[in-house]
Amino acid sequence: MVEQDQIKAAQSGDRDALVTLLRDIETHVYRTAYYILGNEQDAMDAAQEALIRIYTKIQTYEEKAQFKTWVQRIVTNICIDKFRRTKPTVSIDEHNMVFQTERDVEDEIVSTYIAKDIHEAIQKLPEHHRAVVVLRYLQDFSYNEIADSLNLPLNTVKSYLYRARQQLQSLLHEYQKGGVRG
Amino acid sequence: MKCQEVMELIQRHLDQELTKQELEAMNGHLKQCAACAGMYARMEQLSEDLVSLPKVSPAYSLVDHILPRLQEIDELRSQGMDLDDNGRPLNEQSVAERESGLLGRLKRATFVKAASGIAAAAVLVLVVVTAVQPSGSQLDNAGEARLDAADSASANQLAYDSDSNNRVKATSGSDNSQASKSSAYPEDSAPPEAEAHLFRQAPDSGTESSGDTSMDSFGNAGGQPDVAVEDQGPSAPVSSDGEPASQQPQEGYVPLADDKLDTSEEGQGISSQEAPSEPGLMEPRYAMNDQPVEASSSSEVERLETSMSSSGELTAYIEESSGLYRLAVHETSTGAALYVGSFMETQDVPVLTWSEEEDSLVIMRYKLEDETYRLAVNARERSEDNIQE
């Protein structure tokens, strides 16, 4: 995705190289923020904050880590902070209410989930699980890359991913049943 | 083959990790078991849908949008200013941080008692500032004070509700700032400066949560972390004003209990030594679960086992201290301690299992004089049951 030369130039004070670097990664940064935070506005804010942080901290990046995992660590940390600040406690009950009122549109679609359902289901996952799913499926990261990004052991990454998928599956399954009933 | 084992195979199959034999074994089971076949179909569908989630892009170029900000950062730097991670001058940032912590508390306001004390303090900051400013003195922290005043506008609103007497007194007594200052801080609440200090030191000192093991296990444990953990988490590690950066990475990194298990058993996890070396980015966010208990007794308590409920909402831990064990149940997403048991003597390390029937019910089995006991705790419903099996 990003050339090492460009990173080196950016680190050595080449401002244009650094700005180009930011342009190269901004979509990836935004995408993660969007799926962790669940809405465009928060994602815009978080992604900009992440880009500014990358701008100010570029010197601290070391080549032994992959640049993309370094970048994703920054953005996921910012998102999780942001998420905790804005939504300190959301009870499951509130969630269920939202689910029921928004369901009627999707009556005819029974056999396949639609992106909106998945999107909502992802928002119900605990934050670490959500981050793992986002890095896995939106950034195409391997277990190892996720582990590096989130500073978690490999086995924890796997178990988070498994639990997240299981939970998504059960949420979406409930959803479908609701669709049949409605 | 048990259905539970098949579930594991299905999961691994989604990541293309099965050997030929495992694949055959799984398919064999799926032919006979309709429940697992249904699960397999749903998991495959889910996996496909996750892969095809829209690859969203920002509506406008974020870099273009932040260019002026980047320019500003360059200018501040060229003036020799020390900046934080977000490109703000360090002294300003500490104010912003304090405010966000304070406001965060007020917004949550789970504990009106605590909030009202702090709110009163916030009002006083405002009042003292208004009292000082007309006199025209350009103090060093005048800018800081103005920031306080502006940012605590909404805090004020809250303060008005909870402590209107104080507010009235304070606004009228503007020519006696000394008097209002001393009467303004209730004895049990710290003035804002001390408050800020506390926040920055929180990860080490953990003064706030020191009481969470006292009295009964549920006592304050359910609520206190709402204040202590949530506030410490976001604000404390973020502060890059030199203090955290000067710590050894090993100290700054609080491993998850999972870490300990995984790294010691398999040696393939990211150990604290391998932990990336960017000092400003060594944010122990992912270890937030450890905060409430770690903070109060980090030197003695060790987590031996971690187990998450099937919904992932709760995480239970077996914690050990001087050969005694206890059960702790935390909310996974916030890290808030919902239940912290008392330490007890057991023959071996207790074992954790989550109830199949009741989602929030965790069972800790332990042995004492060759008898097996079970401590069943539903942290949500605040029930606790300790019986011999």
Alpha helices in A38-91 (DSSP H): 40-57, 67-86
Q: Could you give the 3-state DSSP secondary structure of residue B349?
A: coil
pLDDT for B287 beyond 60: no
Q: In whole angstroms, how far apart are CA A27 and each of A47, A82, A141, B23? A: 9, 19, 15, 37
Residues of CATH 1.10.1740.10 domain(s) within chain A? 1-88
Residue contact B270–A151, C-beta within 8 A? yes
Q: Could you give the 3-state DSSP secondary structure of residue B305?
A: strand
CB pairs under 8 A between A and B: 198
The complex scores an ipTM of 0.82
Q: Average pLDDT in the B345-365 region?
A: 84
pLDDT at B226: 39
pLDDT at B83: 74
Domain boundaries, chain B: 3-51, 80-189, 203-388
pLDDT for B127 beyond 50: yes
- Which of the given ranges, A17-31, A88-102, B128-142, B325-339, has the highest pLDDT on average? A17-31
Q: Average pLDDT in the B224-234 region?
A: 39
- Please measure the distance between the N-terminal and C-terminal CA atoms of chain B and give it in whole angstroms: 29
Name the token pair of B255. 């491993």
A178 falls in which pLDDT band (50, 70, 90)? low
Distance of CA B97 to the CA centre of its chain: 16
Give the H/E segment covering residue B194. helix B192-205
pLDDT for B169 beyond 70: no
Q: Would you say how long chain B is, in residues? A: 389
Residue A174 CB coordination number (10 Å): 13
- Alpha-carbon distance of B86 to A54, in angstroms, equals 9
pLDDT at A82: 82
pLDDT at A98: 35
pLDDT in tens, B231-263: 443 333 433 333 333 334 444 334 344 333 333
Residue B201 CB coordination number (10 Å): 14
pLDDT for A94 beyond 80: no
CA-based R_g, chain A, Å: 18
Q: Average pLDDT in the A92-98 region?
A: 36
Residue B83's Cβ-count burial label (10 Å; 0-12, 13-18, 19+) is: middle
pLDDT at B122: 58
pLDDT at B63: 95
Give the H/E segment covering residue B329. strand B324-331
- The angle, 0 to 180 degrees and rounded to 10, between the axes of the packed helices B192-205 and B90-108 is 90
Q: Do the beta carbons of residue B155 and residue B103 sit within 8 Å?
A: yes
Q: pTM for the whole thing?
A: 0.48
Residue contact B278–A70, C-beta within 8 A? yes
In DSSP terms, which residues pair with B344 in a beta bridge? B325
B-chain CB neighbours of A159 within 8 Å are: 258, 308
Residues of CATH 1.10.10.10 domain(s) within chain A? 89-182
Q: Average pLDDT in the A67-81 region?
A: 95
Question: What is the CATH class of A1-88?
Answer: mainly alpha
CATH hierarchy code of domain A89-182:
1.10.10.10
B53 phi, psi to nearest 5 deg: -60, 145
pLDDT in tens, A142-165: 999 999 999 999 999 999 999 999
Angle at A78 between CA A69 and CA A114, to 5 degrees: 80
Name the token pair of B233. 């988490």
Close Cβ partners of A160 (under 8 Å, ≥ 6 residues apart): A128, A129, A132, A152
B-chain CB neighbours of A156 within 8 Å are: 256, 258-259, 262, 269
- Which of the given ranges, A83-97, B21-35, B292-306, B353-367, has the highest pLDDT on average? B21-35
B157 falls in which pLDDT band (50, 70, 90)? very low
Residue B59's Cβ-count burial label (10 Å; 0-12, 13-18, 19+) is: exposed
DSSP assignment string, B158-173: HHHHH-HHHHHHHHH-
Give CA torsion, residues B264, B269, B275, B276, to 10 deg. 170
Residue contact A166–B308, C-beta within 8 A? no
Interface of B with A in 226-265 (CB under 8 A): 226, 230, 233-234, 238, 253, 256, 258-259, 262-263
Give CA torsion, residues A57, A62, A66, A72, to 10 deg. -20
* pLDDT mean across residues, chain B: 62
pLDDT for A45 beyond 70: yes
pLDDT in tens, B180-214: 444 444 444 444 444 444 444 434 443 444 333 33
pLDDT for B299 beyond 60: no
- Which of B4, B53, B338 would you mutate first to test chain A, the one with the most A CBs within 10 A? B53
Interface of A with B in 115-174 (CB under 8 A): 115, 118-119, 125-129, 133, 136-138, 143, 147-148, 150-156, 159, 161-169, 172-173
- Which of the given ranges, A107-116, A125-134, B1-10, B238-247, has the highest pLDDT on average? A125-134
Closest of B164, B97, B102, B166 to residue B128, by C-alpha: B166
- Please measure the distance between the N-terminal and C-terminal CA atoms of chain A and give it in whole angstroms: 46
B131 falls in which pLDDT band (50, 70, 90)? low
- Which of the given ranges, B11-20, B312-321, B328-337, has the highest pLDDT on average? B11-20
Q: What is the DSSP letter of B327?
A: E
